[in-house]
Amino acid sequence: MTLFESPAFEGHEAVHAFHDEASGLNCIIAVHSTARGPSAGGCRMWPYPSSQAALEDALRLSRAMSYKNAIADLALGGGKAVIIGDSRTAKTPALFEAFGRAVEQVCGRYWAAEDVGISPADLAHAHKHTRYVAGLDGYPASSGDPSPVTAEGVFQGIALCVRRAYGSDLDGMTVAIQGVGHVGGFLADKLKAAGAKLVLTDVNTPVLRAVAERTGARTVAPEAIFDVDAQVFAPCAMGGAITHATLERLKGRVVAGGANNQLASPEVGRALYERGMIYAPDYVINGGGIINVAAEIRAIEAEAAYDPAWVQAKLDRLMATLEEILGRSRQEDRPTHEIANAIAEARIAEPG
């Protein structure tokens, strides 16, 4: 299958492949849309089994960023970068400097930030060779790691969904979190503070143990997380967690988490809706991080300081949009992901 025939291509404006022999960098930067402004989205480092798998992931994630930035009412389009490699063993300063040179070659049509496997320290090396990097530390426009803001939005979204599904707050509710890295770990802390009971899993055993110890959570093997007797399932790992098979195993009435591309297919979203469950569309509930990144980009362009009040106002509006989506889903008898897509597509088509 060629690039243009791929179902994931979906009208991308540009797809860039970069290789740097000296550092070992193999990287794809996908730009889905610049209709609302320069594309922005995180850089992910993952040991993809093939370059085709990396390309497909970059395309899906890039399109999702167009929708995420539109639904958050940001003057940004959608883009994504993926680096092929194991973030636990293959990171070097030279690799990220090469990545910075790659970003620079896209000439400002893509802004990079952190995603799975990437830290602000990694992108500091990239920043030596390009200005188009956000989520850094140490200067007035800096916003730092966007994960805490992402986690705050996910936390608020879960609370909203629980109120609708159970007429209750989070105190005493059991939440099963799949993945407790940056976002999932911060989310676990927030849920614990709100009185929720936690069941956690992660493929990174030391990280899982550390989060469980500080939150008093129970842990299970990765595959067992779908069978936990929990009111909320929170996917915060890689995409595609909700399939027809895993959906049948969930016990609760709420799916709401920080991962991107949580539904394996749109048909799974409809099946979830027909089971009477509430799904918080991923690119809505996890939009806090890109709002934080947008604030930094905004400050860099204006040569000003990062404005946390601007971030809070955008996050408040995002939660209002989520509430609108949940309400319209019930009123129109349509799955939430279809409502969210319609709102995002309208904003992309008419960015002004």
Residues identified as active-site: 80
3-class secondary-structure state, position 78: strand
Q: Are strands 218-219 and 278-279 parallel, antiparallel or unpaired?
A: unpaired
3-class secondary-structure state, position 176: strand
Asked if residue 254 lies in contact with residue 231, where contact means CB atoms within 8 angstroms, the answer is yes
DSSP letter, residue 87: T
Amino acid at 306: Y
- Scan for tokens 């939005």, then name that residue: 153
User: What is d(CA 54, CA 234) in angstroms, rounded to the nearest whole number?
Assistant: 24
User: What is d(CA 177, CA 184) in angstroms, rounded to the nearest whole number?
Assistant: 7
DSSP letter, residue 222: G
Please count the other Cβ atoms lying within 10 Å of the Cβ belonging to residue 209: 14
Please name the helix (run of DSSP H) or strand (run of DSSP E) that holds residue 41, with its range, or none: strand 39-46
